[in-house]
Amino acid sequence: MAAIEFAFVAPLLLCMYFASMEASQAIETDKKVSRIASMVADLVTQQQDTTSPVALKAIMDIGKALVQPYNRSRPEIVITAISISDENTPKVTVAWSSRLAGDGTKCLGEANETKGKTTTVPADLNTRGAFLVRVASCLDYQPVITWSTGDTPGFGWTSIFKNISMKETYYLRPRMSQEISCADCLT
């Protein structure tokens, strides 16, 4: 009788165990995606009045390393410097931008942030004459339960969990100067 009860309960207990393990890993990875955005924004805003693509890439590489030991997909990091004009109706434009390509979902939509392009900021940050650094980090999380299932019959339900998009965006103001320029940034 005990063996029959165990046969009924064991699969349920194993499913609950793996689901709770995967949920805790997903929550931890989501926290890491937030840490990437906040840490990269913090490091960029500590720059003096100028930066370079090499310095930005090094900072983004540090941010990419924060995701470890999760290494199923690479994060995408987008740093955008935003200049708000000093007019009655302020214009919010991109001063420069740098991107570290990842796997999958694009941060902030499909288009690259190019110099001079109009962009948006939250209403409470739209201050005349301000300069902001926006850092967006994105990651397509791939749960362990979807690694080897593919299109195996009976496991098709796992395809809804194949890629869980995790995103975070931080806005910070420069600390050491009024604005940070990047003359060699391509976009």
Does residue 163 or residue 53 have the better pLDDT?
A: 53
Decide if 178 is inside a domain.
no
Q: Which residues form the domain of 114?
A: 2-172
pLDDT at 153: 46
In-domain check, residue 184: no
Dihedrals phi, psi of 172, to nearest 5 degrees: -135, 155
On whether residue 15 sits in a domain, the answer given is yes
Classify residue 59: in a domain, yes or no: yes
Residue 28 lies in a domain: yes
pLDDT tens for each residue of 131-167: 999 999 988 888 777 665 454 444 555 555 667 888 9
Is the pLDDT at 37 greater than 70, yes or no?
yes
Locus of tokens 């001079």: 116
Round the average pLDDT of the chain to a whole number and report it.
83
Q: Cβ of 16: how many Cβ atoms within 10 Å?
A: 10
In the chain, the amino acid numbered 119 is T
pLDDT higher than 50, residue 6: yes
The pLDDT value recorded for residue 149 is 47
Give how many domains the chain has, as a whole number: 1
Is the residue at 91 inside a domain? yes
Q: Say what the pLDDT of residue 48 is.
A: 82
Tell me if 186 is assigned to some domain.
no
Would 93 be classed as within a structural domain?
yes
Average pLDDT over residues 100-115: 67
